[in-house]
Amino acid sequence: MTLTTALTRYLKRPELFRDLANDLGSSSADLRKRFPVLNPSTGELLAEVPDMSADDARLAIERAHAAQEAWAELTARARSDVLWNWHQLMIEHSDDLGAILTAEMGKPLAEAKSEISHAAAYVQWYAEEASRIYGETIPGPSIDRRMLVIKQPIGVVGAITPWSFPASMVTRKISPALAAGCTVVLKPAEQTPLIAAAMFNLAKLAGIPDGVLNLVYASEGDAIGRELCVNPKVRKISFTGSTEVGRLLMRQCSDLIKRISFELGGNAPFIVFDDAEIDAAVEGAIQLRERSKRSFAMLDRLAYPPIGFTFSRGSMLNLSRSSLSACGCLRSDGFDPDVTIGPLINGNALEKIELHIADVVQKGGKGSLRRTSAWNFRNILRTDCGYGRCEIDAWGARRDVWSACTSFPLRGLRRRDPRSQRHHYGLAAYFYASNLKRVWRVAEALEYGMVGINTGRMSSKAAPFGGIKQSGIGREGVVSM
């Protein structure tokens, strides 16, 4: 896989990334068909990536399995040192990694660099944790006995990551696996394979042995996902993506009783109470939306609070500034220093927005759509829409839309409503309030895995990350849960 000048012209050290290996050694994938990776802002070709098959995935699994024993037998300190080296290389080359991320995903360069820093922080965290994999000593049933509990690597880990945060999602999954002594087969999203390959290149330079990290690319991931699930040499699957795909992967893993960690979809409510600091709430809503130019499962939704309370008229008028502010942001190529909002990832994202708006309008709501396309059909820039009277039965309220929408209700609910239990998602929720009694009551009542109180930022390497209900199983970002 070779990068084109449409990308290398932005790199300070293009020689480090010009030829991104496919990590499959003697695989014939390079001789077969490829799929293009395009800049979603300009439509320029960034690279042609090997379009791999289940056979290639099987070969990658074999390589990971062969490397597993030697990697697990390294001392914890040795694995820690390698991860530290990788972290330092990511920081050293963060400008180039940010450029690659901006080119293939579209987010503004400053935001892309921030994600690289966040991704490197996961590597750093687990470099530290690698040397702190402790066991337990338990008193035995008699005076001359002791029971010992030790932790051992589970084996080959299959990781499947989305295009939404294509750098930090990778390191959040594979860093703990490497620290524990596991090897990894990663299938990145077809829209954003380049940043994963670039980070793997740096991992090799950091001293990670051949076969420990393996990449498989595919324009359609069904066959590779199935191979990771049904192959007995893969002992665990870590997946971030839609609930529908997660449900399929879970079924495929069930015959082998394979361990899984899934972060799945969710439409996160954003609730503002009458006693909230309105300016802070507006700023939080804007940050949530603008930090995810293509939308993500934790994006704020004002459409339907799971526990409803009356919104004041003043609150809703002030919250409308969020929509106005977003409409005033500049949308264009992420390499433009003045740009604050990048493009949608592709045409599918726009189609979901259109479905969302059409359904709300059909149910009596109001919707608007703004579309800008300066270069070609792929340059579908950030779309904003405002809704009124958006009910829980609306299509977007019951599904993980993965597109950039914000909803503004004209009225709230006055008491707990049984309709709130219809929502099968439970990833994240946000609310703004000042009354301490209300804060605790609402935080504990919300049926979500994570609740942000007076903040839109919850992701941290030191805290558990994940949802409940159909928004996932298991947690990431902690030693154990």
Q: What are phi and psi of 476, to 5 degrees?
A: -120, 160
Q: What value does the mean pLDDT take over residues 138-161? A: 95
Cα separation of 456 and 459, whole Å? 9
Beta-sheet pairing, 184-187 with 472-473: unpaired
Torsion angle (degrees, nearest 10) of CA 458, 459, 463, 466 = 100
**pLDDT, position 366:** 55
Asked if 442 contacts 431 with a C-beta cutoff of 8 angstroms, the reply is yes
Query: Tokens representing 278?
Result: 């309105």
Transcribe 160-183 into DSSP letters: E--SSSTTHHHHHHHHHHHHHT--
Domain boundaries 268-464, corresponding CATH code: 3.40.309.10
Asked if 463 contacts 475 with a C-beta cutoff of 8 angstroms, the reply is no
Quick one: angle between helices 76-92 and 94-105, nearest 10? 70
Tens of pLDDT, residues 205-245:
999 999 999 999 999 889 999 999 999 999 999 999 999 99
Q: Name the strands in the sheet holding 184-187, side by side, starting at the edge strand that comes first in the sequence.
A: 213-215, 184-187, 156-160, 234-240, 259-263, 472-473
**pLDDT, position 176:** 95
Q: What value does the mean pLDDT take over residues 139-148? A: 93
**pLDDT, position 272:** 84
283 is catalytic: no
Tens of pLDDT, residues 4-27:
999 999 999 988 887 665 544 445
The CATH H-level (homologous superfamily) assignment of domain 5-138+145-263 is: Aldehyde Dehydrogenase; Chain A, domain 1 (3.40.605.10)
Phi-psi region of 364 (alpha: psi -120 to 50; beta: other; left: phi over 0): left
What global pTM score does this model have? Answer: 0.83
In this predicted model, which residue has the larger pLDDT, 234 or 334?
A: 234
Q: Which residues contact 152 (CB under 8 A, 6 or more apart)?
A: 72, 181
Which of these is catalytic: 104, 115, 129, 263?
A: 263
Domain boundaries of the chain, sorted by first residue: 5-138+145-263, 268-464
Q: How many CB atoms lie within 10 A of CB 440?
A: 11
Beta-sheet pairing, 259-263 with 234-240: parallel
pLDDT tops 60 at residue 444: yes
**pLDDT, position 89:** 98
**pLDDT, position 215:** 95
In this predicted model, which residue has the larger pLDDT, 276 or 287?
A: 276
When the pLDDT of each residue in the chain is averaged and rounded to a whole number, the result is 79
Nearest to 262 by CA among 275, 250, 276, 274: 250
Q: Range with the lowest mean pLDDT among 25-34, 184-193, 370-379?
A: 370-379
Tens of pLDDT, residues 77-115:
999 999 999 999 999 999 999 999 999 998 899 999 999
